[in-house]
Structure 1
Amino acid sequence: MILEYGSKGATKESGEIPRSTLEPALVSAEAAPKVIKVMQDGSGEFKTITAAINSIPTGNNKRVIIKIGPGNYKEKIKIDRSRPFITFLGNPKNMPNLTFDGTAKKYGTVDSATLIVMSDYFVAANIAISNSAARPDARRSGGQAVALRTSGDKSAFYNCKIYGFQDTVCDDRNNHLFKDCLIQGTVDYIFGSGKSLYLKTELRTLGTKDVTVIVAQARKSESEDYIYSFVHCDLTGTGTRTFLGRAWLSHAKVAFAYSTMTKVIHPEGWCNNLHSEYNKTLFFGEYKNTGPGADTKKRVKFTKQLSDGEAKPFITLGIIQGSKWLLPPPNF
């Protein structure tokens, strides 16, 4: 299943995989994948995900598919850079839940994640990832609790459910795809400096009467190519004071296209109260979104309504160099 630029400007799906464009290392890795199973009832090779990862040799150059059985796996999981080409595969009808309660106070924000992926060519399909720490409040410092940190290159997440409150997903550097996923949170629940495409993904805000923000993007100079692009996404949740994003650093770059925005989105759209000087250098774009939250009449002045030509680079797989590495997930 390949996503490509459609003749009418939207992304579309095709069943053909142009393997001639894939990186040679990936083609070699996919030639003879190995499958290992994690089952809590003991019917697989391993009972924990960490044990399965540790069984993969460092310097691995072949695809290893870790099939994960149903259940709650309370583990703090890390895949280091020396173990590329790993796939986590769950059953879409009975997803495994990877959960931990790490917080910034104990681990630091980015290292509080339940799942930390430092390696390249990682794939997750049909996996729930959650941080079970309590919802942060003004009375406690260090309450940020990440569910997923993805820092490797060329990683894809298909039909994954990612749950947290503040700082749910640390989308940190490099090329990433999130397709058919659910991401839930409160404040800055997608943050970092990744170069990522979010496609057909639900962004569910757990809002109250307080201000909430979906994206905090950390591009810091014009020379960096980091961007978060959200295409055909659904913005849902509770409350009515959610902003699409804010500039964490001076040259933040975020685009929303063909997405449905409910009334959870604040009429102004974007927030930048902390650093008004960034208004001259950030890029916040919108293109052909729909729903009550997509009304642009009261949008802040520093956002941009994109033309067809301006939007085109943000709604293709080229934004993440997809033709070089992107493959569909395996069947369970």
Structure 2
Amino acid sequence: MLLKIVFLLILLLERANSTSMVTSDKSNELVMIEKSYVNWVKMHASSKQPVFKNAKHKFKPCMTIKVSKNPRLGDFVTLQKAINAVPAINLCRVVIFIGAGTYREKVEVPNTKAYMSLVGAGADKTIVEWDDTADRTGQSGRKLGTYASATFAVNSPYFIAKNITFKNNAPSPPSGALGKQAVALRISADKAAFIGCKFVGAQDTLYDHLGRHYFKDCYIEGSVDFIFGNGLSYYKDCHLHAISNSYGALTAQKRDSFLQETGFSFVNCKITGSGALYLGRAWGSFSRVVFSYTYMDKIITSRGWYDWGDKNREMTVFYGQYKCSGPGAKYGGRVPWSRELTQEEAKPFISLDFIDGHRWLHRL
């Protein structure tokens, strides 16, 4: 509650000081509210200054909760009710065990509930699904936008998920369709880990929004920009599967300043699927993505990368690959502004040090 009050005070101050907020256009107000929230998260939940400043990544549980489709076998029958039962400003690890079944619900972990672990019965057995798209009208009567289209949204640090499928059931849109972004999971907090999980969708499946994140043994499926955002994230031993019938893109990383310590690193992953796939599109002017020791199927376009229609970004992005294999990994046809990295250049991207992981992942 205290953090919510602080955020509201910050939001009110920003409204008072921003002339762009003095408008009767409600859709613009929604955009400004989201931007204010993002700024608040950056200030209070970044790698430099987390919300729980003196806290460490706690693993020993102080509370366990069971969720089951069968009310006789669990404490709750929905995930959101289980999450709501966790005390606000939580300072110890809470483990929520989720039984087998398909949980059709839209779920959000608020920013006041840290140290939460969700453990499923297996990614093929425990499924959380919804079907919102960016152009769908929400309860407020306004369009949701990409940010609010997520089936599962995480706003609090030190989150862990294991053996769960997060799914957005919205149908795959035709190429060039507007407003069809359909997020399966959005992670907008620092120091989060996903192990043995699946993220299933089409356009904009995994919103790797803000913070340091670790993905291990995960399956991620989509068509266009299906891993996107401005996180600092390390993907290890993951399967990345495209379902596009035409052109698609695997990543859209949004680093927009050379001062930002963000980017995506994929190590020992596998890329398969259909269509013609770019490894990444330069959503941010300083977008940064590296693939190392990764198998690339023939679906990868020879050029590899796309500048988002802005030639200036070709001078500022950092796109590279290191010791990748497969028919799509041939570097000869790549755009000249991408890089085939040397061992020394690749070194910062191929260990957990990329996300400072040795400090907060050592017991996972």
Query: What TM-score do you get using the length of structure 1 for normalisation?
Result: 0.88
- What is the identity, as a one-letter code, of the residue corresponding to 1:230? F
Q: Among residues 180, 189, 208, which one is paired with 1:152 in the alignment?
A: 189
Q: 2:315 corresponds to which residue?
A: 280
Where relative contact order (Cα < 8 A, 6+ residues apart) is larger, the structure is 1
Instruction: Note closer, same or farther for the CA distance 1:287–1:99 as it changes in structure 2 (3 Å cut).
Output: same
Q: 1:311 corresponds to which residue?
A: 346
Q: 1:245 corresponds to which residue?
A: 280
Q: Residue by residue, what CA displacement relative to the aligned partner does 1:244-296 show, whole Å, maximum 9, x if unpaired?
A: 00110110000000000010111111112511110000000110000000001
- What is the identity, as a one-letter code, of the residue corresponding to 2:111? R
Q: Residue by residue, what CA displacement relative to the aligned partner does 1:100-133 show, whole Å, maximum 9, x if unpaired?
A: 0111012110210000000000000000010011
Residue 34 (structure 1) shift: 1.7
Q: Within 2, Cα distance between the matches of 1:322 and 1:273?
A: 31
Instruction: Note closer, same or farther for the CA distance 1:273–1:30 as it changes in structure 2 (3 Å cut).
Output: closer
* 1:228-307 pair list within 5 angstroms: 228-239=264-275, 241-307=276-342
Residue 135 (structure 1) shift: 1.4
* 1:1-332 pair list within 5 angstroms: 25-26=55-56, 29-42=58-71, 43-92=73-122, 95-106=125-136, 107-137=144-174, 141-208=178-245, 210-239=246-275, 241-329=276-364
Preserved contact between residue 132 and residue 151 of structure 2 (Cα < 8 Å): yes
Q: 1:3 corresponds to which residue?
A: none
Preserved contact between residue 271 and residue 297 of structure 2 (Cα < 8 Å): yes
Preserved contact between residue 137 and residue 143 of structure 1 (Cα < 8 Å): no
How large is the RMSD of aligned CA atoms in angstroms? 1.5
Preserved contact between residue 172 and residue 202 of structure 2 (Cα < 8 Å): yes
- Give unpaired runs (5+ residues) of structure 1: 1-22
Q: Within 2, Cα distance between the matches of 1:244 and 1:140?
A: 21
- Identity among equivalent positions (%) equals 40
More helix by share: 2
Preserved contact between residue 100 and residue 122 of structure 2 (Cα < 8 Å): no
Preserved contact between residue 124 and residue 165 of structure 2 (Cα < 8 Å): no
3-state SS, counterpart of residue 46 of structure 1: coil
Residue 310 (structure 1) shift: 0.4
3-state SS, counterpart of residue 55 of structure 2: helix
Q: 1:9 corresponds to which residue?
A: none
